[in-house]
Each structure stands twice: as structure tokens, then as C-alpha cells.
Amino acid sequence: MPQVVRTRIAVPHGAHPAAPLPRSFRSLADRAAVEVLHRAARVLVASLPVLTDRLVEALYAQEPGYRAAIDSDRAEVWQEVHHSLRHNVGSLIQPREFRDAAHRTSRWIGEIRAEQGVPLDAVLHAFRMGGAMVWQDLVDETARRDPDDVRLLVHVAADVWNFVDEHCGIVADAYRQAERRLSWRRENQQRLMVAALLDGTARIADIGEAAAMLGLPEQGRYAVLAVASAPGGPQQHDPAQPPLNLPAALSPGEGLSTAPGAAPLWHTGPDTAFAILRLAGGAGDPGDPGELH
């Protein structure tokens, strides 16, 4: 954080640093600083729409990860930012009353941005940009009202930035939890889709979606190998292992070979592991065995 308040008195070379203030004086200074903070924060609360506009504009200009979201639905991002600022600035004035709501809002933002695919670094950068803008506005408002009071904000600067760091941690935790849920959901959907393709229960209308989900061409030839496996056998191709090729008994005279660079897609059943191999060559005749459709 840039140093906003600078000392106006230089310490002479070789002079001993000033002794710390007695506790009673520090308490008085802290109390006065909190009063200054509350007074400035109330002004920010009264002008939250303007602050929200400025932060959304700054996000659009400085954070590429938010640019697509703002282009897609600016009103939705505006509401998110306004909601967050309202609870977070309110927490500076009434921490007990706003704490839980502020935490819920930060968790919600972390979850929804994970679902939308906004990078975590972009979300954390947005929170820190908001913290920096709020802090600068607190300093500017205090200076406008009474320049001598600006020095008192030094006593609460650490508290303000600790608050920002705390909420960055909440956002990151919520984001990662949402990522894990989404990953499990995708893996489960893929497992069910592959099972439906193998047992013939997949609907023709779902073939395109299945191909996109599995990263396979919709039009193409495929071979399915049944591999005896112990419980907990392979579920996906390990790039460190050699590629799985068609058994030699199937290849001679068949004109069959795996597509270059195509890794097998594994599906593990109760007693057997199935490997779906993409074959080299064109789509083939519609009736050829091994075709996805």
C-alpha cells in the first residue's frame, strides 16, 4: 500500500528515535482515529452509487478478467460491486452488525465468479482495487473536512488493510470450494455420459453434447477395448505412460490404427476398464463398428 500520510518533521541524523507513546495516549489517539474513520466512512456510504460507478469503470480498464463479464452484463457486475461495498464500508462503521453479511457477500462473489470462469487472481485483484479506492476516498474525505485529521488515519490503516486481506482469504476459499464442486460435477457427468455411450442408452440428440464434453470429434471412428482391471484401475490416461495401441490381433489387414496423439478415454466399470480409442482416418461408413454415432 503506498504511504498516503508522510511525516512533516525530519528526524535529525544520529538522533534517537522517539520513545513509544504511553498506552493511555495511544488509546486516546486510536479513539480519535476511529471517530475520524467513522465520519469519513459515513460520507462514502451516502455516495455509494458514485463509488460503485468508479470501481466498475476501473475494473473494466485495469482488470481484463472482468472485462468480458462487464460487457456481458454490466448491471449484474454493478450490483455485485455495490452490494460488496455497502457491506464492507458499513463494516468500518458497525463491524458487529455488518460482519456476517459482509462475509456472506464475499463468499457468494467467490462462488459465482468461479462458476463463471473468472480467474481467481482477477477476483482478488478486484477486491484489492476496491480496498485501495475506499482507503483513498477515506483519506480524501478526511483531508477535505480537516487536513490535520489525516495523520490520525495512520492508527487505523492496518485495520482497514487487514480487513481487505481477510475478505480476500474468504473469497479465495469460497472460489476453490466452488471449483472442487464444479470439477466433481463435470467428472460425474462425463462418467455417466461415457457409460450411456458404452451401453447404448445415450440418445442421438445428446451425441453432440457428449462429444464436446469428452473432447472427441462427433464424426469419427472409435474402438473400445475392454481391459481386465483390479478395483481402482485406471480412470484416465496418464501422459507419462506409453500410448495405448490396438491389439496386434485386430490390426493386420484391418487398416486400423489409433489417431496420432489421441489419448485413450478411460471408463472404469465394476470388473472391467474400458478404453475408448480414436482411430486414424476419415469418418468411415455410417454402419462401421466403433463409430461414435
Average predicted confidence (pLDDT) for the chain: 77
The answer to whether 119 and 70 are in contact (CB under 8 A) is: no
pLDDT at res. 229: 57
Q: Locate cell 480412470: which residue?
A: 235
pLDDT on residue 11: 35
Is 265 or 120 the better-scoring residue by pLDDT? Answer: 120
According to CATH, where is 1.10.490.10 located in the chain? 23-184
Distance CA 128, CA 125 (A): 5
Tell me if 104 sits within 8 A of 84, measured CB to CB: no
User: At 137, is the pLDDT very low, low, confident or very high (cuts 50, 70, 90)?
Assistant: very high
How far apart CA 50 and CA 137 sit, in angstroms, is: 12
Portion of the chain with pLDDT greater than 90, in percent: 45
Q: Distance between CA 237 and CA 116 in Å, rounded?
A: 28
pLDDT in tens, 14-73: 444 434 434 443 455 588 899 999 999 999 999 999 999 999 999 999 999 999 999 999
- Give DSSP secondary structure letters for 168-223: HHHHHHHHHHHHHHHHHHHHHHHHHHHHHHHHT---GGGHHHHHHHHT--SSSBEE
User: What is the rounded distance in angstroms from the CA atom of residue 214 to the CA atom of residue 283?
Assistant: 18
Of 137, 166, 158, the residue nearest 40 (C-alpha): 137
pLDDT tens track for 145-174: 999 999 999 889 988 999 999 999 999 999
Higher pLDDT, 142 or 238: 142
Q: Helices H, strands E: what count in the chain?
A: 8, 3
Architecture of domain 23-184: Orthogonal Bundle (1.10)
Rounded to 5 degrees, what are φ and ψ at 27? -65, -40
| Cα gap 283→263, rounded to integer Å | 18
Grid cell digits, residue 52: 460503485
Compute CA distances 133 → 27, 137, 247, 249, whole Å: 28, 6, 64, 69
Q: Which residue has the higher pLDDT, 28 or 117?
A: 117
Instruction: Give me the pLDDT at residue 166, please.
Output: 94
- Write the single-letter amino acid at 119: P
In the predicted structure, residue 238 carries a pLDDT above the cut 50? no
**Mean pLDDT value of segment 235-251:** 47
Residues 16 and 74: their CA atoms lie apart, in Å, by: 55
pLDDT in tens, 59-104: 999 999 999 999 999 999 999 999 999 999 999 999 889 999 999 9
Percent of the chain with pLDDT over 70: 69
Whether the CB-CB separation of 178 and 114 falls below 8 Å is answered with yes
Task: Locate 131 and state its grid cell.
Answer: 480496498
pLDDT (tens digit, 9 = 90+) per residue, 59-70?
999 999 999 999
Report which DSSP code applies to 253: T
Residue 42 in 3-state DSSP?
Answer: helix
